[in-house]
Amino acid sequence: MGSSFEITVVASDEEIGFINIEEGIAEVRRIESLISSWDMESQTSEINKNAGVRPVKVDYELFKLIERAIQISELTSGMFDISVAAMDEVWDFDGSMTSFPIPEKIEEGVSKVGYKKIVLNSTDHSVFLSEKGMKIGFGAIGKGFAADKVKELLVSKQVPGGMINAAGDITTWGTKATGEKWLIGVDNPNRDSRYFTWLPLVESSVSISGIYEKYITFRGKKYSHYINPITGYPASGIKKVTVFSKSAELCDALATAIYIMGKEDGLQLINQLGGIEVIIVDNFNRIVNSDGLILKTAE
């Protein structure tokens, strides 16, 4: 998935532990073969190749992921949208861009974006992108989905505890071998110290999104790889978003949406939802958090 995965398990001995980890790796590869838009043989690529042509029948698992993605699009007023993948033809964050895209190209890309143009048929589990040039991609939800699936698999194998870290999309279960809770450190942008607080992850998940991940620089200004699906331009105003909930998939998607929505709207959304919390760091290094989160500064 273009990212590193770290799988930690609690086991009675190393041999069993390594077997569990290998099973987790195999599950990541299975998910990647299903959702990768870079794998030309994947069902996701098949959907994209047939945009504006015909519906494509997919596995129930993929169908339900797309269905949940559309629900999150509705929840976030379109700020999360898997069809923003069409903007990959406009923006490139691999270091190859040497100039800012012209407005006409951005407008053309935006015209191919829109989660409401994704047509789902629950009878035969088919997916249809209604316009040619449309694409879907799971860069903002796929790693969280994979982390959840690996956790689900290992729990079914009676692994008593573990942590899956999919490049900042983290989920845990059980405790460490010592019986201690799994902890996530939140770094402090205002100080040189590494973390300003530690938070326990008890049968829970977290996702971290920020401009430090991928960006391009033009005329001394950094532009994040988080593209606003409505405007077609990179989002700005936030440096880092950390979302907590039971599901790594939901954390992954909401962290992206909040980054694009902005501090005020993102905070307002989370405060209306149950069982989800957020910490936001804006471009001025000001830290705000949702109402249900009590932060204690680390020593």
Q: Which of 200, 171, 172 is nearest to 185 (CA)?
A: 200
End-to-end CA distance of the chain: 36
Which strand ranges, in their side-by-side order, compose the sheet holding 5-10?
Answer: 5-10, 161-166, 169-173, 205-210, 238-245, 277-282, 287-289
Written as tens digits, the pLDDT of the chain (299 aa) is 778 999 999 999 999 999 999 999 999 999 999 999 888 999 999 999 999 999 999 999 999 999 999 999 999 999 999 999 999 989 988 777 778 899 999 999 999 999 999 999 999 999 999 999 999 999 999 999 999 999 999 999 999 999 999 998 999 999 999 999 999 887 766 655 567 778 889 999 999 888 766 778 877 777 888 999 999 999 989 999 999 999 999 999 999 999 999 999 999 999 999 999 999 999 898 989 999 987 765 54
The model carries a pTM of 0.93
Q: Could you tell me the residue ranges of all domains in the chain?
A: 168-289
- Distance separating alpha carbons of residues 137 and 38, to the nearest angstrom: 9
Token couple for 29: 């590869």
Fill in the amino acid letter for 259.
Y
DSSP 125-170: TEEEE-STT-----TTTHHHHHHHHHHHHHHHTT--EEEEEETTEE
Query: Which residue matches tokens 């040039």?
Result: 133
Please return the burial class of 115, using the count of CB atoms within 10 Å of its CB with bins 0-12, 13-18 and 19+.
buried
The third-level CATH classification (topology) of the domain covering 168-289 is: T-fold (3.10.520)
